[in-house]
């Protein structure tokens, strides 16, 4: 604020957007991409008419979790136990795990098996647990830790013959089975 900027671009998740919104009511704040619903998060009044000084883009990634599960079940009808590999430090992952996926899983007759990872050294333990619990599908919510370990996760899924569903095309390029979500290049 001391720099007297004309505009603030807030990217990298909800925290920077909220910080910028809290810092000023007059300087325009442009969301580089909101990982959650910006209306629900209180950043804007509506998508069509944001109001206030915050605007920008969103990929509504978390809100599409139910559709991802539906598409996984449609593509692989035998899937019944879906492991969800999530990063506890990622609010978007927690939102999907607690709010979105249980509703969709019930409707589809799926069992969700949550597997938390807190750091790069936690993946092997989660992978072993998924194998022991006989998961037959894998869902990976978006988050920095999972994104940074995308190839490792995709390799595990391929080796374990687990069909996986993801939120971006980059996962499929790394070896994931399918994705459903916004095209980040278009955004």
**Does position 151 have pLDDT exceeding 90, yes or no?**
yes
DSSP conformation class of 97: I
Q: Are residues 97 and 126 both part of a single domain?
A: yes
Lowest mean pLDDT across 16-20, 32-36, 120-124: 32-36
C-alpha of 144 from chain center: 9
How many helices and strands (H and E) does the chain possess? 8, 8
- Supply the pLDDT for residue 15: 84
- Whether residue 186 is contained in a domain is answered as no
Question: Could you give the percent of the chain with pLDDT greater than 70?
Answer: 95
Q: Are residues 88 and 39 both part of a single domain?
A: no
Average per-residue pLDDT for the chain:
90
- Supply the pLDDT for residue 42: 86
Q: Are residues 25 and 98 both part of a single domain?
A: no
- Supply the pLDDT for residue 12: 75
- 34-48: pLDDT as tens digits: 666 788 788 889 878
- Whether residue 154 is contained in a domain is answered as yes
Q: Are residues 54 and 98 both part of a single domain?
A: no
| Tally of structural domains, the chain | 2
Q: Are residues 92 and 31 both part of a single domain?
A: no
Mean of pLDDT values over 137-163: 95
Residue range(s) defining the domain that contains residue 18 = 8-58
- 68-101: pLDDT as tens digits: 999 999 999 999 999 999 998 887 788 889 989 9
- Whether residue 81 is contained in a domain is answered as yes
Q: Are residues 49 and 69 both part of a single domain?
A: no
Q: Are residues 115 and 42 both part of a single domain?
A: no
Q: Are residues 66 and 138 both part of a single domain?
A: yes
Q: Are residues 78 and 149 both part of a single domain?
A: yes
Residue pair 177/153 in contact (Cβ under 8 Å)? The answer is no
**Does position 6 have pLDDT exceeding 90, yes or no?**
yes
Sheet containing strand 29-34, strands side by side: 8-10, 29-34, 54-58
- Supply the pLDDT for residue 35: 60
Q: Are residues 100 and 87 both part of a single domain?
A: yes
Angle between the 101-108 and 65-75 helix axes, to the nearest 10 degrees? 30
Lowest mean pLDDT across 20-24, 33-37, 126-130: 33-37
Q: What is the CATH number of the domain that holds 143?
A: 3.40.50.2300
Q: Are residues 74 and 53 both part of a single domain?
A: no
pTM: 0.77
Q: How many CB atoms lie under 10 A from the CB of residue 99?
A: 13
């Amino acid at each position: 604020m001391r720099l007297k900027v004309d505009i603030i671009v807030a990217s990298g998740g909800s925290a920077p957007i909220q910080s910028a919104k809290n810092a000023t009511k007059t300087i325009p704040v442009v969301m580089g991409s909101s990982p959650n619903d910006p209306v629900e998060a209180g950043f804007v009044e509506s998508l069509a008419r944001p109001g206030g000084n915050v605007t920008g883009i969103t990929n509504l990634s978390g809100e599409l979790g139910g559709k991802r599960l539906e598409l996984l079940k449609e593509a692989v009808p035998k899937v019944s136990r879906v492991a969800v590999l999530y990063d506890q430090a990622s609010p978007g992952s927690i939102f999907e795990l607690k709010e979105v996926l249980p509703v969709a899983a019930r409707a589809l007759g799926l069992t969700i098996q949550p597997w938390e990872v807190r750091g790069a050294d936690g993946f092997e333990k989660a992978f072993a647990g998924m194998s022991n619990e006989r998961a037959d599908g894998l869902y990976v919510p978006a988050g920095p830790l999972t994104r940074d370990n995308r190839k490792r996760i995709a390799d595990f899924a391929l080796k374990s013959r687990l069909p996986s569903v993801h939120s971006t095309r980059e996962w499929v390029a790394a070896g994931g089975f399918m994705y459903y979500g916004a095209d980040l290049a278009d955004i």
